[in-house]
Amino acid sequence: MITTTPTVAPTEWEAATGWHLETQGMCLGDRCVPVAGVTASDGSLDLEEVAKRTGRVVVHDELHGLWAVGPEANAPVLSSTELPRLLLEDRAGNQVDLRTFLGKRMVIHAWAPW
Amino acid sequence: MWQGLNAELEQYGITVVTIGIDVDPTNCHPYMDKSGATHPQLVDTAHATVGALGFTNVPMSMWVDADGRIVQPAHYSPVTPGWGDRPIPEGLPPRILGRFEVLQKATDRHQEYLSALRRWATDGVALDPEAARTASGLRSEDEAMAVACFELGNHLRHTVGPEAAVPWWRQAHRLDPNNWAAKRQAWSLVTTAEGEAPDLMQEDTGPYDGNWLDDVLAVGGIANYYPPTTW
């Protein structure tokens, strides 16, 4: 996830990470963390702080004014037992969610030309 | 090869989905067009499968049940024989010979893998989803940072230019030397001439540190080139 500001809308954060706002805080599955001090008056989230509380890492490129959010650190590579939503490209360049093919068992195979 | 496997596995209600990983999709398209595949073929131009699924090298695969639960996390998935029995041509330059020698030391596990895949197909033998999540391994802070650095570099490569990616990709390589997808991707963009087939030797890596042969030797050889895998 790349942002051009140090804040992020809750909807964007949810789309990128799955963590979403509930009454008890920011939640993913059965985990919830408090959001006090994370939410600005306009409802946006402080990127560094929400990342820290949800175990995510952030790198900042000062020169280009960019932030990149990485996956959860010190946690299993798979954040869930379920195949995550993942947008990839088909041959025509269309965005396709990997979950489109659920309904049958799947072998997902990665290869590369390099 | 995966087209043949898809034809075999379809009768057991399994779909093969292949994902070519490359920041430039046109590098994947010729292979996709030639494959004759009837199964879904996708391209991961962001290396998103590294962060989300753990595909840090190729070939790697993952098994998912019909309810969308992962029952075998990202794993090395050889489906063709290794290099062990292939004769090494004479008169090769030392570095190319070195690569052959490294590849020949790889244990050929393709039959073992195919057997495991067929056991899952026919008998449903795989991991419990919670066990699969645990078996996916813990990602360290450095490894997580490397994923973010690679994404930032890739974004800059598209928006600013190839040179802008270099510092962030170098950082990604330093933070996670076992993310071979990040290293091989960056190296290939330097070592492959425009319009040519990918240079798999990846020797003169320009602004990047390391190269395929020396980096594989540095991790102790081909046995450590893929994450430890049991099927």
Per residue in A63-105, pLDDT (tens digit) is 999 999 999 999 999 999 999 999 999 999 999 999 999 999 9
CA distance B99 to B95: 6
Q: Does B29 touch chain A (CB under 8 A)?
A: yes
Residues of chain A with Cβ-Cβ distance to B208 below 8 Å are none
The pLDDT score that the predictor gives to residue B135 is 96
Crossing angle of helices B162-175 and B180-191, rounded to 10° = 150
- Residue B145 is predicted with a pLDDT of 98
| Nearest chain A CA: its distance from B113 CA (Å) | 13
Q: Which of residues 81-100 of B touch A (CB under 8 A)?
A: none
Tell me the shortest Cα–Cα distance from A102 to chain B, in angstroms: 6
**Backbone dihedral angles phi then psi of residue A93, each to the nearest 5 degrees:** 90, 5
In the DSSP assignment, the letter for residue B166 is H
Query: What Å distances lie between residue B217 and B200, B209, B225, B226, CA to CA?
Result: 16, 14, 9, 13
High-pLDDT (> 90) share of chain A, % = 89
Q: Give the span between the Cα atoms of A13 and A1, in whole angstroms.
A: 9
The C-alpha of B150 sits at a distance from chain A's nearest C-alpha, in angstroms, of 9
Q: Using CA atoms, how far apart are residues B187 and B204, in angstroms rounded to an integer? A: 8
User: What pLDDT is stored for residue B114 in this prediction?
Assistant: 97
pLDDT at B159: 97
Averaged over A33-42, what is the pLDDT?
89
Q: Report whether pLDDT(A4) > 90.
A: yes
Q: Which of B2, B12, B17, B142 to mutate to test the interface with A (most CBs of A within 10 A)?
A: B17
Interface TM-score (ipTM) > 0.90: yes
pLDDT tens digits for range B44-90: 999 999 999 999 999 999 999 999 999 999 999 999 998 887 888 89
- Which pLDDT score is estimated for A39? 87
Q: Where are the domains of chain B?
A: 2-135, 141-224
Q: Fold for domain B2-135?
A: Glutaredoxin (3.40.30)
Q: Cis before residue B59, ω within 30 degrees of 0?
A: yes
State residue B76's pLDDT score.
97
Measured distance CA(B208)–CA(B206) in Å, rounded:
6
* Residues of B whose CB is below 8 A from A84: 52-53
| pLDDT of the residue at B15 | 97
Binned at pLDDT 50, 70 and 90, residue B150 comes out as: very high
Listed range (A33-37, B91-95, B171-175, B192-196) with the worst mean pLDDT: B192-196
pLDDT digits (tens, 9 = 90+) for B21-41: 999 999 999 999 999 999 999
Section B120-124 average pLDDT: 97
Query: Global pTM?
Result: 0.95
Q: Sorting pLDDT into bands at 50, 70 and 90, what band is A40? A: confident
Torsion sign across C-alpha atoms B46, B50, B55, B56: positive
Strand pairing category for B60-64 and B70-76 = antiparallel
